[in-house]
Chains A and B, each alone.
Chain A
């Protein structure tokens, strides 16, 4: 499998995406912006179509459209403060509508679109690999340098702003990075499944991780295993890579939730886990509920 150049490219692209997408997913989930990835992928598709029609590299067209849409969402988020999901829905519909109309104008585009919609290992060109590398590099640098203010705005934007964090600028930069990553991930997993790469590893990591950093590391681990496993499985059984990766990550999530519930059940019923659980007496709280009705009635009787 590794002898083929397209597989080497796909695995390299997968590794880079596996490093950045799950970290982004953790922040998106905690900021309640999960649908943003889906929206940006739809808008990015419109950019791909526009790029093709205008004779610009479709990948660069998709990249530009996703970044512009990300900034627009950020702007609209301030306008629709109470209904934060409205700008996301507006752009998702608008993006897909523009993509469909542009696609109908260029009949020859239809075939290459299926590669963008569902992802294809052979679709990862050198330009796309370069864009994925750029998105991953910039993303990892961004998350390393700004990890502290990002933690603050993810917990509470208002308090972060009062503490001196440049919330709007940081939030805009985060949105741009989301747009870049989504556009970069499209050739591997496809437009329709791009959010799976961001959200599923993060969803599992957030359930089982004890702390913030642990959630990041776990999500990257889960994402990488899902991508490598999905790509290998896709090559072996000849299935679309995007769908295979998404299904594998979904299976991880379901198994993870089941395992967690089983573990908690075993611990509660004094099984294997109890012998290994350290109970700190100061933290253990026992609540006793006493019905005082009789005492009160008796006291009132005495009076």
Chain B
């Protein structure tokens, strides 16, 4: 069980970050902290750069100005293992010649390196991850035969198999039915509470996810047309304040 103290340790912080794709900035003055072991939700209307903020946090994009720091002390000085489920997970490579179990096993490659073979522990991890997302029964199916929601769950299982320190989910419930969505939120909350994993999730479904989240960051456009901005500084609030969380 994770203590309150662990949740208060800052894992990653963005300070006054500015970034854009063309000439004008997409986000400006973004200041945001991610705490270790929390289940953080990032939400906002379309076009408020939610995925951009995630990618900045992940280091996939370099900010124009400002600072993004990762607190490696939170992981004993080591680089954290990051599991990632992208927004488009359900739509890419429909014809990829892999069965579900083959793809999920590939999540173990990071810890196995180039040559070490899958052992009993890794196989156990694969089974447990597939069972957690409810895809064990379909493990022999080809990826292309799955529905969008099922593909999304397989990608999540692949991320879980890595035993990540941080799990980044970009609209992971796309294509999922209501029951699967709730199962996912419960699973993520369980991961944060029992295994100390930090989960950052971009979502539109606050009505459903809100009660499971520790904190919600809302992105809003404070100016339109010429210079769209996302102002996080005033929008941050805890799930407890908004939803009377669990």
Contacts and interface: CB of A to CB of B under 8 A. Distances in A.
Decide if A and B are genuine partners: yes
A146 interface: yes
Contacts of B142: 210
Contact of B58 (A162, A164, A214, A215): A162
B122 to A, nearest CB: 13
Interface string B31-44: 00000000000000
A215 B97 contact: yes
Interface stretch (A119-127, A151-159, A251-259, A267-275): A151-159
Interface string A190-224: 00000000000000001001111011000000000
Contact of A212 (B83, B92, B102): B102
Interface in B82-100: 82-86, 89, 92-93, 95-99
Interface string A154-196: 1110110111100000000000000000000000000000000
Interface stretch (B108-116, B196-204, B223-231): B108-116
Interface string B157-181: 0000010000010000000000000
Contacts of A282: 137
Interface residues of A, number: 27
Contacts of B83: 163
A212 B60 CA distance: 28
A152 B95 contact: no
Given A145-B114, A162-B82, A206 B97 contact: yes
Interface string B123-159: 0000000000000011001100000000000010000
Interface string B49-80: 00000000010100000000000000000000
A212 B97 contact: yes
B106 interface: yes
B2 to A, nearest CB: 24
A161 B60 contact: yes
A211 B95 contact: no
Contacts of B137: 280, 282-283
Contact of A155 (B58, B60, B93): B93
A30 B112 contact: no
Nearest to A162: B84
A148 B117 CA distance: 11
A149 B109 contact: yes
B103 interface: yes
B86 A158 contact: yes
A145 to B, nearest CB: 6
B97 A209 contact: yes
A174 to B, nearest CB: 15
Contacts of A158: 60, 84, 86
A210 B93 contact: no
Nearest to B113: A148
Contacts of B85: 159
B141 A210 contact: no
A91 B137 CA distance: 47
B86 A159 contact: yes
B106 A146 contact: no
Contacts of A212: 96-98, 102
Nearest to B155: A159
Nearest to B101: A211
A146 B114 contact: yes
Contacts of A148: 106, 109, 112, 114
Nearest to B116: A148
Nearest to B159: A159
A137 B137 CA distance: 41
Contact of B138 (A145, A162, A215, A283): A283
Contacts of A159: 84-86, 155
- Of the candidates B97, B103, B168, the one having the most CB atoms from chain A within 10 angstroms of its own CB is B97
A211 B84 contact: no
Interface of B: 58, 60, 82-86, 89, 92-93, 95-99, 102-103, 106, 109-110, 112, 114, 137-138, 141-142, 155, 162, 168
13 contacts: A30-B96, A146-B114, A149-B109, A151-B109, A155-B106, A158-B86, A161-B60, A163-B83, A163-B110, A206-B97, A211-B97, A211-B102, A215-B97
Given A152-B106, A282-B137, 15 more contacts: A146-B114, A148-B112, A151-B106, A151-B109, A152-B109, A154-B96, A155-B92, A156-B86, A159-B155, A162-B58, A162-B168, A163-B162, A210-B142, A211-B98, A212-B102
